[in-house]
Amino acid sequence: MTSPSLLAATANVLRRDLTVAWRRSADVLTPLVFFAIVTSLFPLGVGPEPSLLRTLAPGVLWVAALLSVMLALNRMFANDYADGTLELLALSPHPLSLLVLSKVAAHWVLTGLPLVLISPLLAVQLNLPSEAMGALLLSLLLGTPVLSLIGAVGAALTLGLRGGGVLVSLLVLPLYTPVLIFGAGSVAQAAAGAEIEAYISLLAAFLALTLTFAPWAAAAALRVSLD
């Protein structure tokens, strides 16, 4: 029996991860519910002052999105590691880095994309100006895949370790900081009526860089974890 083509193999990995995740709807909904709860409760904690909420909205939305993505990082490879699927992927004739990229894409579709879609609704209750909605969507659309890619490396490095969820957070948070700064900064600049091209260009550069190196690094870490 011939092995499937590379395109078919990556599509199969993506489809399998999406199917398995949808069967565990609680895992899919947890990051989205967390994002909604954090942003909804924040005005109750600091008060309903419109100007204050408008100032804090970019940082609140981006921090909540970052933490929501982190909630699902530990499950990116854990289930496949437990049932032996990860070993089969490692033995595949296709590059493990591209199969890992498919798993990262599934993680983003299930975690990052819903956050992007719901963010304008939550931004309204934080009094974010309508002029900044486009910047919010664009920055999250560029930034959340970076969070998933960097998180994949951290999840692979801590695979099989006790307390892996805490270790993942400690590993990836320093790397998440530039994405958080420029993501929230772009929204804040747009809200102030300033240009955001520099911020968006940096986020796009981060995405290109992580797309190039993160799958390879995660694949190398997975091979070490499987040895």
Average pLDDT of the segment spanning 172-188: 94
Indicate if the alpha-carbon torsion angle 75, 77, 81, 83 is positive or negative. positive
Q: Which amino acid is at 119?
A: S
**What single string gives the DSSP state of each residue in 98-163?**
HHHHHHHHHHIIIIIHHHHHHHHHHHHHTT--GGGHHHHHHHHHHHHHHHHHHHHHHHHHTTT-TT
Q: Is the pLDDT of residue 169 over 50?
A: yes
CA distances from 159 to 44, 108, 151, 181, 224 (A): 38, 19, 12, 28, 10
pLDDT of residue 87: 83
Q: Is the pLDDT of residue 216 over 60?
A: yes
pLDDT of residue 141: 96
Under the phi-then-psi rule, with left for phi > 0, alpha for psi from -120 to 50, and beta for the rest, what region is 148? alpha
Domain ranges of the chain: 6-226
Q: What is the pLDDT of residues 15-57, one digit of tens each?
A: 888 888 777 777 778 889 999 999 988 888 887 788 888 889 9
Q: In 3-state terms, what secondary structure has residue 95? A: coil
The proportion of the chain whose per-residue pLDDT surpasses 90, expressed as a percent, equals: 50
Q: How confident is the model at residue 144 (pLDDT cuts 50, 70, 90)?
A: very high
Residue-averaged pLDDT of the chain: 88
Tokens of 131: 């002029």
Average pLDDT of the segment spanning 90-112: 90
- The distance in angstroms from the start CA to the end CA of the chain is 27
Contact predicate 214/145, CB 8 Å: no
Contact predicate 55/64, CB 8 Å: no
Q: Which amino acid is at 132?
A: A
Longest dimension (CA), the chain: 66
pLDDT of residue 120: 92
Q: How confident is the model at residue 162 (pLDDT cuts 50, 70, 90)?
A: low
Contact predicate 192/73, CB 8 Å: no
Q: Is the pLDDT of residue 96 over 50?
A: yes
pLDDT of residue 226: 78
Residue found under tokens 């490879």? 77
